[in-house]
Amino acid sequence: MGRIKNICLLTNMPGETQGKQVCEGVFSQCQKYGYNVAVFATLNEFDLFVKEIPEGEKAVYKIPDFSRFDGIVIDSVSFLTDHSGRIAEDLYRSVRVSGVPAVCISTPVDGIHLIENSNDEALRRICRHVTEVHQCKKVCILTGPQGNPEAESRLQVLTEELQRQGIDTPKEYRVYGDFWYTSGEQLAKKIASGEITRPEAVIAASDHMALGVIQALMDAGIRVPEDIIVAGFDLTDQGMLDEIPLTSITSNFAECAAKAVDHLVGILEPEREIMPFVPDYKRMLHIGKSCGCSYAADDVMKKFNTLIYRTHRNFNRKDAENYIDIGLLMENYIFERMIASETPDQCIENVYKSGYVLAPYEDFYLCLREDWLGEEMDLYQKMPEKMEIVLHRSAEEDEGFFEKEERSTFDSSLMLPQMFAEDAKPCAYYFSPVHFGRNGIGYAVLCRRFRDYEKFDQVYRNWLRFVSSALEMSRARNALAELSVRDKMTGLYNRRGMMACVEKMQSRADENKRMLVGVIDMDGLKYINDHYGHSEGDQGILRLGEAVKAFAKNDEISVRAGGDEFFVIGLNDYDDFDAERAIREFDTILETITARDHKEYKMTASLGFALGEKGGNEDFEVILGRADAEMYRNKQMRKNSRDRLQ
């Protein structure tokens, strides 16, 4: 059996109606062919009024290394809402440069093969329902903007279907709009005022326009469906759950997306039999109250159950995972527990513990940049070379981790190493950004079965918002704590931080461990300040700090005690510790670090070491005093040696 093939799907808001249709088509085919799918998508609108949010969200499109995929599907329709065009342009350019077989759906992209979407049959069926079931002859069509290819196509199909039935569509009944509520409201007002002759039915080329028609007609005292029948197109949640449930039909994006996968299969495995996606138009058509029929209450209740806000639930039900909803997320104080975390590690643990709201899932991974606790970073501008999996939650109870020692680092170009493992089973991997405003913290990867695409919803989106906010708060809190225990100039521990670390060391001491204290003091700082300036002296202190940090081994800590004095402190067995060898090692490290500066003077330091008694119980200040005395002894020896040479 060969390596499992990986398909990349680029889209926006996969939890919305159109996104779910695209996922249905891609997932259904990839399940047939045994392919993985990695979905890279923002979870918010590109033009959200809070500008910092989409700025942080778009970093998700910097995660994929396209060269590692076998094929790429671009849901180019979803990028039409990127009015700036910058996100789409960058993304399409990266796809083309990769050289990987790519295909876009419905909306053309230069240099990438297009699979055109045909909604003809769906539009004809909604039209026939109005004319054949309800015998309407005077039908007004409301479509999108004039000149828009999709708007013109929908208008043409509907007028042709009416003509096929011998129904004429006069110019006043061919109305252009904006695919939004506003144009529906405008049409209704014209009908109510008599500017447009009252029709028997209005077919709108989008649910939003249809809902605008209904509301404005009702406001004007014209009843729906008693006076005018209204039908929509796209089958949105809003349409199904409105006061007058809308008769509508699903767009055919699922079949279009499925054909995109079939096209890639034809390239990747020419000998393989293609298994076409067959749309179920009966299932796609939803009968609401807006046409006068007995509406499909079961469909409405199913949709209602996915959106309902519950405060109590029965976890003993076998299908309890089907009742993970926004109420469960909000009423269990998940966010409060996350932000109450005292340390970053505790925050990650609390994220892990709240992961039950992700059900149903196979795996969940939280991947953070290694330095996420450091300065803010815009990941759209620059992705780090390394990422760290800090959390893995699995549907298998004996797998997964959140503990620090279990975490692993990987090259960011791998995105998620587990996705490319030889034993990987075909799944859908949803990659989502983890950020606070523009500050990119990392990304999350939710692995689900293909059939669970409908459950990628507002619960996950809002849970990730909680996670992102909690991590940012933890980062800020950690930064404040670090300021109190770290030296601002070098980033090493200050004396306060040192004493806190020493107390922790002594608390875990045992009979085999001894405390090591090393004192490092810069040679000739006054000479450098006097002859080259205090900025040169500060540079020397920084270089010495680098050397001290590089010299510290294992769990040893490095400290700037003040001025040009530094400490290295550790707790270990140290039975083979050799002070002279340690001094030579430090000299080599310092010489290597300072050599790149090409200074006129040579920078050196004096060192002294002292070991405490076994058991780690000897007073720290006593050990420090011995190390300090040893440092001064070595400094004097160095000075005497230099004086003799002169």
The per-residue pLDDT for range 221-252, each reduced to its tens digit, is: 999 999 999 999 998 888 888 889 999 999 99
Q: Which residue did the predictor score with more confidence, 396 or 445? A: 445
pLDDT tens string 531-549: 889 988 999 999 999 999 9
- pLDDT average, residue stretch 339-362: 93
For residue 488, the surrounding DSSP H or E stretch is none
Instruction: Return the amino acid letter for 29.
Output: Q
CB 215 within 8 A of CB 243: no
3-state helix, strand, coil in the chain (%, to 5): 45, 20, 35
Please name the residues in contact with 442: beta carbons below 8 A apart, sequence gap of 6 or more.
366, 367, 368, 369, 372, 387, 434
Of the candidates 403, 415, 399, the residue with the CA atom closest to the CA atom of residue 367:
415
DSSP calls for 381-449: T---SEEEEEEEEESSTT-EE--GGG-EEEEGGGS-GGGG-TTPPS-EEEEEEEEETTEEEEEEEEEE-
In the chain, where the domains are located: 1-115+252-273+358-460, 120-250+282-298, 495-645
- pLDDT average, residue stretch 565-578: 92
Q: Alpha-carbon distance 197 to 203, whole Å? A: 15
Which residue carries 């809308």 as its tokens?
Answer: 246
Q: What is the pLDDT confidence band of residue 304, given thresholds at 50, 70 and 90?
A: low
Of the candidates 174, 183, 190, the residue with the CA atom closest to the CA atom of residue 138:
174
pLDDT at 85: 73
* Beta strand 229-231 pairing with 248-249: unpaired
Q: Alpha-carbon distance 486 to 398, whole Å? A: 39
CB 106 within 8 A of CB 116: yes
Edge to edge, the sheet with strand 201-204 lists: 174-176, 139-143, 201-204, 229-231
Helix (H, G, I), strand (E, B) or coil at 577: coil
Of the candidates 402, 387, 399, 478, the residue with the CA atom closest to the CA atom of residue 433:
387
pLDDT at 318: 61
Q: What is the pLDDT confidence band of residue 309, given thresholds at 50, 70 and 90?
A: low
Q: Alpha-carbon distance 169 to 139, whole Å? A: 7
Look at residue 127 and tell me whether its pLDDT is greater than 90: yes
CB 13 within 8 A of CB 45: yes
pLDDT tens string 434-458: 999 999 999 999 999 999 888 878 8
pLDDT at 1: 45
pLDDT at 243: 87
Q: Alpha-carbon distance 476 to 488, whole Å? A: 16
Looking at every residue in the chain, the average pLDDT score rounds to 90
Q: What is the pLDDT confidence band of residue 283, given thresholds at 50, 70 and 90?
A: confident
What homologous superfamily does CATH list for 120-250+282-298? Response regulator (3.40.50.2300)
pLDDT at 54: 85
Q: How far is CA 237 from CA 183, 207, 429, in A?
A: 20, 9, 25
Helix (H, G, I), strand (E, B) or coil at 38: strand
Share of the chain above pLDDT 90, in %: 67
481: its two tokens: 């704590």
- pLDDT average, residue stretch 213-227: 96
- pLDDT average, residue stretch 541-570: 93
Q: Which residue did the predictor score with more confidence, 319 or 391? A: 391
- Dihedral over alpha carbons 330, 332, 338, 342 (to 10 degrees): 140
Alpha helices (H) in 105-148, listed in sequence order: 120-128
Domain spanning 1-115+252-273+358-460, CATH architecture: 3-Layer(aba) Sandwich (3.40)
**65-69, 264-268, 283-287, 484-488: least confidently modelled range:** 484-488
> What CATH number is given for 495-645 in this structure?
3.30.70.270
Look at residue 321 and tell me whether its pLDDT is greater than 60: no
Q: What is the pLDDT confidence band of residue 86, given thresholds at 50, 70 and 90?
A: confident
Q: Alpha-carbon distance 97 to 498, whole Å? A: 51
CA 537 to chain centre: 44
* The domains spanning 1-115+252-273+358-460 and 120-250+282-298 adopt the same CATH topology: yes
Look at residue 524 and tell me whether its pLDDT is greater than 90: no
pLDDT tens string 585-601: 999 999 999 988 888 88
Give the gyration radius of the chain's Cα atoms: 33
Q: Alpha-carbon distance 354 to 349, whole Å? A: 9
pLDDT at 486: 87
Q: What is the pLDDT confidence band of residue 92, given thresholds at 50, 70 and 90?
A: very high
Look at residue 314 and tell me whether its pLDDT is greater than 60: no
474: its two tokens: 């933890």
